């Protein structure tokens, strides 16, 4: 393939750019010439799941795919916060209270609809031309304004303290790490996102994606 889209199931502990580089290498080897490859929305290194890669001439339409709604399954860890909102950050104990399932379900309903959300400072958003995470890693003060996002649905799949597993359908630009932090604050327990898997991007489904191994990536 030299033009079109490819659905990939991103593994954990790999950057989105790492996925792109590996797919580009395979396609370039197959085509015998350099093939242009891009992604349509960053998944954090700890996260897994669906990525839409644009190939060749389809790269010009990357922005279209980026703006689409997405669905995630995520696990939030109660009782602690993380400096990055995920397992890779510095963890801080907050509280050991154990809310019951009813309280959690009630809190989740407060986040359905259009909400204001502050993206994490450790994110790929650009501030004055630089990635926020690079500024944060350099110890610089990072201030990211709140912005409106839409949570179309937010379902509690399971709860066994301290693990809260949810499924959520969200608008483009929604940060699940920020959602975890906000829910933790609302519960008074603190929380961070310990696992994250993207299961759909509009009509494209994770079940139709290939793993890197299935695509022919050897390492």
Closest to 11 (Cα-Cα) out of 43, 33, 57: 43
Residue 103 and residue 25 in one domain: no
What distance in Å separates the CA atoms of residue 170 and residue 154, rounded to the nearest whole number?
9
Closest to 49 (Cα-Cα) out of 206, 212, 219, 178: 206
Evaluate whether 10 touches 21 at the Cβ level (below 8 Å): no
Torsion of the alpha carbons at 133, 135, 137 and 142, rounded to the nearest 10: -80
Residue 87 and residue 26 in one domain: no
Kindly report whether the peptide bond that precedes residue 60 is cis, defined as omega within 30 degrees of 0: no
> Angle 151-63-56 (CA atoms, 0-180°, nearest 5)?
140
Residue 21 and residue 83 in one domain: no
What distance in Å separates the CA atoms of residue 74 and residue 84, rounded to the nearest whole number?
16
Specify the pTM.
0.90
Residue 206 and residue 181 in one domain: no
Residue 141: the pLDDT is: 65
| Residue whose entry in the numeric block shows the structure tokens 């937010």 | 154
CATH number assigned to the domain comprising residue 193: 3.30.2350.10
Please give the C-alpha separations between residue 119 and each of 4, 28, 153, in angstroms, as whole numbers.
31, 36, 19
Residue 125 and residue 32 in one domain: no
Residue 77 and residue 130 in one domain: yes
What distance in Å separates the CA atoms of residue 147 and residue 174, rounded to the nearest whole number?
9
Residue 77 and residue 163 in one domain: yes
Residue 24: the pLDDT is: 95
- Structural domain for 186, as ranges: 70-201
Residue 98 and residue 45 in one domain: no
Residue 117: the pLDDT is: 94
Residue 116 and residue 172 in one domain: yes
Please give the C-alpha separations between residue 23 and each of 4, 36, 201, 206, 214, in angstroms, as whole numbers.
13, 10, 20, 17, 11
Residue 186 and residue 165 in one domain: yes
Structure tokens at 42: 């960053």
Residue 131 and residue 148 in one domain: yes
Residue 195 and residue 206 in one domain: no
Written as tens digits, the pLDDT of the chain (219 aa) is 679 999 999 999 999 999 999 999 999 999 999 999 999 988 999 999 999 999 999 999 999 999 999 999 999 999 999 988 999 989 999 999 999 999 999 999 999 999 999 887 665 666 666 665 565 566 666 677 789 999 999 999 999 999 999 999 999 999 999 999 999 999 999 999 999 999 999 999 999 999 999 998 876
Decide if 86 is catalytic: no
What distance in Å separates the CA atoms of residue 217 and residue 214, rounded to the nearest whole number?
7
Residue 140: the pLDDT is: 62
Number of compact structural domains in the chain: 2
Of 44, 69, 182, 208, which residue is the catalytic one?
Answer: 44
Please give the C-alpha separations between residue 65 and each of 21, 128, 135, 155, in angstroms, as whole numbers.
19, 25, 27, 25
């Amino acid at each position: 393939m030299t033009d079109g889209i490819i659905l990939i199931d991103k593994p954990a502990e790999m950057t989105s750019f790492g996925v792109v580089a590996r797919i580009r290498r395979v396609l370039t080897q197959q085509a015998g010439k350099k093939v242009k490859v891009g992604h349509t929305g960053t998944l954090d290194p700890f996260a897994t799941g669906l990525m839409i890669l644009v190939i060749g001439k389809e790269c010009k339409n990357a922005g279209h795919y980026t703006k689409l709604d997405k669905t995630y399954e995520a696990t939030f860890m109660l009782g602690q916060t993380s400096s990055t909102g995920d397992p890779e950050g510095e963890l801080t104990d907050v509280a050991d209270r154990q809310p019951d399932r009813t309280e959690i379900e009630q809190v989740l309903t407060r986040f359905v609809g259009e909400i204001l959300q502050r993206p994490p400072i450790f994110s790929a958003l650009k501030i004055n031309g630089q990635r926020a995470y690079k500024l944060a890693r350099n110890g610089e003060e990072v201030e990211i304004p709140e912005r409106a996002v839409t949570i179309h649905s937010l379902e509690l799949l399971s709860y066994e303290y301290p693990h809260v597993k949810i499924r959520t359908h969200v608008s483009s630009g929604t940060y699940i790490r920020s959602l975890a932090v906000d829910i933790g604050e609302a519960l008074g327990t603190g929380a961070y996102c310990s696992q994250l898997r993207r299961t759909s991007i509009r009509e494209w489904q994770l079940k139709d994606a290939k793993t890197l191994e299935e695509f022919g990536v050897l390492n």
